[in-house]
C-alpha cells in the first residue's frame, strides 16, 4: 500500500482508510481519495503540459487525416481546441482540413 496523505484539516499523520474514504482519528475529518485521481484525467500534451479547452496547440509530427489524402503538417497551429473523452482526446478545427480529432501525445501547447 502507498502511504496515506496526512489529514488536510489538522495534518495528523494517523489517517486510515475505510473503503474509499480516508478518516482522521484526531479531528474526525473524512475525505475521499478520489479527488486525487481526477488528475489522471487531465489531458496532457507531448511535454506533459496540461491542456484546457480553448488552448492553442501545434502538431509535432505529420498526421494523416483518416479517410482522405490530406496530411496535417508538423508545426500546424490549431486554435481553440476542445478536450473530449476517447482515443483522440482533442477535438478541433484545422485550417484547410476541417473538424477532426487529434491525440494529445502528438501536439504541444502554444503559449501566446
Ligand atoms: Zn484531522
- Strand-pairing partners, residue 94, are 98
Mean confidence (pLDDT) of the chain = 89
- In the reported structure, the alpha carbon of residue 17 is separated from the centroid of ligand 1 by a whole-number distance in angstroms of 13
Ion ligand 1: protein residues whose beta carbon lies under 5 Å:
7, 9-10, 12, 24, 26-27, 29
Q: Is the pLDDT of residue 64 over 70?
A: yes
Would the pTM of this model clear 0.85, i.e. be above it?
A: no
Tell me: the pLDDT tens digits for 18-42?
988 999 999 999 988 765 544 557 8
- In the reported structure, the alpha carbon of residue 30 is separated from the centroid of ligand 1 by a whole-number distance in angstroms of 8
- In the reported structure, the alpha carbon of residue 13 is separated from the centroid of ligand 1 by a whole-number distance in angstroms of 8
Query: How far, CA to CA in Å, does 86 sit from each of 18, 41, 72, 91?
Result: 32, 11, 20, 10
27 within 8 A of 7, measured Cβ to Cβ:
yes
Structure confidence at residue 86 (pLDDT): 86
Structure confidence at residue 40 (pLDDT): 57
Domains of the chain: 1-41 (2.20.25.10), 43-110 (2.30.30.40)
The residue among 79 and 40 whose pLDDT is bigger is: 79
- Strand-pairing partners, residue 91, are 82, 101
Amino acid at each position: 500500500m502507498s502511504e496515506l496523505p496526512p489529514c488536510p484539516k489538522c495534518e495528523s499523520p494517523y489517517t486510515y482508510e475505510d473503503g474509499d474514504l480516508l478518516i482522521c482519528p484526531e479531528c474526525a475529518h473524512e475525505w475521499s481519495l478520489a479527488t486525487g485521481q481526477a488528475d489522471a484525467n487531465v489531458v496532457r500534451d507531448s511535454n506533459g503540459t496540461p491542456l484546457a479547452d480553448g488552448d492553442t496547440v501545434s502538431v509535432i509530427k505529420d498526421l494523416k487525416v483518416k479517410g482522405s489524402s490530406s496530411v496535417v503538417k508538423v508545426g500546424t497551429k490549431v486554435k481553440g481546441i476542445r478536450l473530449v473523452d476517447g482515443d483522440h482526446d482533442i477535438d478541433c478545427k484545422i485550417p484547410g482540413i476541417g473538424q477532426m480529432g487529434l491525440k494529445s501525445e502528438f501536439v504541444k501547447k502554444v503559449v501566446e
